[in-house]
């Protein structure tokens, strides 16, 4: 299975992962005799690892309570997942953590065996990651404090400003923090409104974690609540478009806000709800792939108007001011 050194390290990993492990379990996992397990335990103790327990055949072993070592070994897949996760922080609007991510990556590289390190570096070099244009930059320190408050079930206080209200001080029992469509949100009970509310983290400032605790409702689904509170202004058009590209090529390029992507006929069926059909038409043209609009008829009409304007521009003949004003007026009245 492993060489003896790797077996000793495996014993340490198992002891860190469980409250206690019997000698029989260790023998079965390592495919060795119980007597050999006793030698591995003795080796760990010789290295200063505080392993407690009986050494007999039926004995159980555990690490001294409170003792933990950082992971000493990673599989190739574990190392790759960590490396890519560090590189992808900017996709969550946490570009400010780049120096810390770089330092963590360097520490990770130092812990890897040479062969695994070379493989991970080669795979990293083969990957390019780019943030979606609607990802909002977030204060990493503020988010860290907020997550700590969620974990400790402690009330927070912060200054909050939105486009519809002036800056206010809010006190909130935050049940969950989550990332949705390029933005971080905090969801919980607002003391000012005495009701559930969601808050964009990029609009928070001056966060304070108070010495006040609360009990979150069990099984609270913050994502479901947040989606239910972000309705589209009425009326919203129901859009159905077939795109000549697989879903995996479109994810990250298409907003998930009231949008569903599904594989269909070698391409992708996009279903969405939108108010600004002109903006959505421009977005579809910018995807640089063929598509077919199956609905609504109003979206096809938008493309007809865009096509007519492009034909005029392509001919080199400027449109008359009156005609342009008439066309823009029609588009504006439709978008309302």
Domain extent listing, the chain? 4-63, 76-125, 140-228, 237-335
At residue 336, does pLDDT exceed 60? no
**Cα separations in angstroms, 54 against 24, 51, 64, 75, 177:** 12, 10, 13, 31, 44
- Report the C-alpha gap between 291 and 300 in whole angstroms: 12
For residue 78, which of 21, 126, 121, 116 has the smallest C-alpha distance? 116
- pLDDT, tens only, 75-134: 777 787 888 788 778 777 887 777 778 778 877 777 777 777 787 777 777 666 666 656
DSSP structure class, residue 101 = H
| pLDDT reported for residue 326 | 40
| pLDDT reported for residue 170 | 95
Model's pTM, two decimal places?
Answer: 0.52
- Report the C-alpha gap between 133 and 219 in whole angstroms: 33
Residues 14 and 24: beta-carbon distance below 8 Å: no
At residue 136, does pLDDT exceed 70? yes
For residue 156, which of 137, 139, 169, 138 has the smallest C-alpha distance? 169
- Report the C-alpha gap between 20 and 40 in whole angstroms: 16
For residue 202, which of 267, 138, 126 has the smallest C-alpha distance? 138
- Report the C-alpha gap between 107 and 97 in whole angstroms: 15
On average, the pLDDT of the chain sits at 81
- pLDDT, tens only, 285-313: 888 899 999 999 999 999 998 888 888 87
At residue 211, does pLDDT exceed 90? yes
Q: Of 221 and 57, which is predicted with more confidence?
A: 221
Burial of 170 (C-beta count, 10 Å sphere; 0-12/13-18/19+): middle
Domain 4-63 has CATH 3.40.50.970: no
For residue 27, which of 61, 50, 52, 69 has the smallest C-alpha distance? 61
- Report the C-alpha gap between 202 and 141 in whole angstroms: 12
Place of tokens 């304007």: 309
| pLDDT reported for residue 322 | 46
- pLDDT, tens only, 180-204: 877 889 999 999 999 999 999 999 9
Domain 140-228 - what CATH class?
mainly beta
Q: Which of 28-32, 86-90, 167-171 has the highest mean pLDDT?
A: 167-171
Q: What is the dihedral of CA 33, 34, 40, 46, to 10 degrees?
A: -140
| pLDDT reported for residue 55 | 56
- Report the C-alpha gap between 308 and 327 in whole angstroms: 10
At residue 328, does pLDDT exceed 50? no
Q: Of 122 and 249, which is predicted with more confidence?
A: 249
Residues 334 and 309: beta-carbon distance below 8 Å: no
Q: Give the mean pLDDT of 147-158.
A: 94
Q: Could you say which of 3.90.600.10, 3.30.70.250, 1.10.287.3610, 3.40.47.10 is the CATH number of the domain covering 237-335?
A: 3.30.70.250
């Amino acid at each position: 299975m492993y060489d003896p050194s790797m077996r000793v390290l495996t014993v340490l990993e198992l002891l860190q992962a469980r409250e206690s492990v019997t000698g029989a379990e260790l023998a079965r996992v390592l495919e060795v005799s119980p007597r050999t397990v006793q030698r591995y335990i003795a080796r760990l103790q010789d290295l200063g690892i505080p392993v407690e327990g009986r050494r007999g055949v039926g004995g159980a072993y555990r690490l001294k309570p409170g003792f933990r070592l950082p992971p000493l070994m990673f599989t190739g897949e574990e190392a790759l997942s960590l490396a890519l996760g560090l590189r992808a922080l900017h996709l969550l609007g946490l570009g400010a953590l780049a120096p810390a991510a770089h330092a963590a990556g360097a520490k990770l590289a130092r812990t890897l065996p040479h062969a695994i390190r070379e493989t991970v570096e080669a795979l990293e070099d083969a990957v390019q990651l780019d943030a979606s244009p609607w990802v909002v930059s977030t204060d990493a320190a503020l988010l860290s404090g907020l997550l700590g408050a969620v974990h400790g079930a402690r009330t927070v206080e912060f200054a909050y400003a939105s486009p519809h209200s002036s800056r206010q001080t809010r006190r909130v029992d935050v049940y969950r923090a989550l990332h949705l469509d390029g933005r971080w949100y905090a969801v919980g009970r607002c003391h000012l409104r005495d009701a559930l509310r969601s808050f964009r983290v990029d609009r928070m400032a001056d966060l304070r974690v108070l010495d006040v605790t609360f009990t979150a409702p069990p099984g609270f689904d913050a994502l479901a609540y947040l989606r239910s509170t972000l309705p589209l202004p009425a009326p919203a058009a129901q859009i159905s478009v077939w795109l000549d590209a697989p879903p995996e090529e479109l994810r990250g390029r298409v907003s998930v806000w009231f949008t569903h992507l599904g594989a269909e006929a070698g391409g992708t069926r996009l279903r969405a709800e939108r108010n600004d059909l002109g903006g959505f038409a421009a977005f579809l043209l910018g995807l640089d792939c063929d598509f077919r609009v199956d609905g609504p008829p109003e979206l096809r009409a938008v493309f007809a108007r865009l096509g007519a304007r492009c034909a005029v521009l392509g001919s080199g003949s400027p449109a008359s001011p009156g005609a342009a004003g008439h066309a823009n007026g029609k588009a504006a009245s439709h978008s309302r």
